[in-house]
Every structure is written in structure tokens, then in C-alpha cells.
Amino acid sequence: MEFVRVDIDDAVGVVTLDRPPVNALNEEFALELKTAFLECADPEVRAVVVTGEPHFAAGADIKGFQASFDAGVEERSAWTLQEAITALENLEKPTIAAVHGYALGGGLELAMGADYRYLAADARVGQPEILLGLIPGAGGTQRLARLVGYQQAKEMVLSGRQVDADEALEIGLADKVFLSAELETATMESAREWATKPTVAIAAAKRALNKGFGTPVGEGLLIERDAFNQSFQTEDAREGVAAFIAKREAEFNGR
């Protein structure tokens, strides 16, 4: 792939965005991201980190928009990027977006597809599409509201303003903030720790949370019941129960 690297560090898949200078997103980039996340579905990969430097992703490649206008294109879809982000969101293992610099527009939408967002202290995030006469098109109006609340998301989307790392942490858009020089080490330490957890149970919990969120409680309970039964049948469940009874540390194998 030209713009994305996938490296396996122990059981951690590291997806690195690499389209200098600012990791501007276009159709080809989005296709490569989708491919990378599908590769990370490998059961041997038990946690995933998504990152890029010096900027995570500063948004869409605006020159592509201009080319569409010049060509008389009346509709332009962000569907490929939506698919890539959904592939990240649906990975059945813990995922962390490690955000350096800017994560704007599609960059923030990508980061919101991860389970957790760890930000460098100098990072800035936002949905500035409104400043171009556009709106977010790859999940920004939907995932942002679920993370920070409807009114906060409306303010950010309608104003297009950028949020610094401290405010992102305060409103729930960031999970942790680190000095820029410490972000990679801290993220990898966390990812390696996640990779020792009961991966199948985590996958079941993610399915229950993702599919059940926003549904009537009765439907959510049925989803949870099925997910619980899936986790009950795993080797990790047997190991976890045996370890608890024996008063020892569980050694999960992700099966």
C-alpha cells in the first residue's frame, strides 16, 4: 500500500497513516485504510493502534473537491471513508487512535471509529467542514453526538471550531492526553495490555454495546443475551473462571 503501513508488534496491529505532509484523505487513501483494518481482523492481532505523524489526518484532500466542481460533479460521496471507519469500528478487539497534531474533518471521523482516543497535548481536533460550505460526510454528525452529547456536537459542527486536547478530554472526545513525546510509548503499553485480555469476550461486549446503543431496552437485552452466550462458550471463559477459583492470574489466549 502507498499511504498506509501495517506492522504487527507482538499481538498489536499498528496502522500508520503515511501521506505527507498532513495525511490528507482521498478515495485511494480510504480504500487502503479499509484494507488495513480488514487485515487487522486476523485473530492473531488482539489489539489495534491507528496513528500518523506529524498529524493524524488534517482532513480531506480539498483539491479533490475542486476537481469535482471543475468536472461538473453534482454529488460526491464519502462512502469509501465511511466503510473504512466502520471496518475499524467493527474490529472485534480493542482499538486506539493515537492522535498527533491535527485530526480534523475526516481525520476526526476516523479517530472516532476507534474505541479510545489518546491525544498528544498539542493535538487539535474538530469538524471544520461547515467553513467550506459543507458538512461532515463520514460519520461526524452521528458519532460525535454519541461521544460528547447532542448539544456539544451541534455547537462543534455548526461552528467548525477546533478543540484542543484538554477540552477534548473534558467533553469526552479524548480518553487520555499525553505529552507528544510520550504518546507512542503510552499507547503501545496500553495496547499490549489490552492484547492480554479475553479478546472474544471483548468482541462480544463491543457487539452488545454497538448494536444495543439507542435501541429499546428489550431489544438491547436480547442482543446482550446472545453476546453473553457467545462469550460463555470460549476457552477464555473457562480459564477466567478457573483462575478465579484457584486465586491465580488468568492467562487468556483470545479464544
Q: Which of the residues are catalytic?
A: 109, 129
Residue 160 in contact with residue 131, Cβ under 8 Å? yes
Give the other-Cβ count within 10 Å of 151's Cβ: 9
- What is the amino acid identity at position 129? E
CA distance 93 to 101: 26
Starting at the earlier edge strand, list the strands of the sheet with 176-178.
4-9, 12-17, 47-52, 95-99, 116-120, 176-178
> Over the range 116-143, which residues count as b (16 or more CB within 10 Å of their CB) and which as e?
bbbbbeebbbbbbbeeeebebbbbbbeb
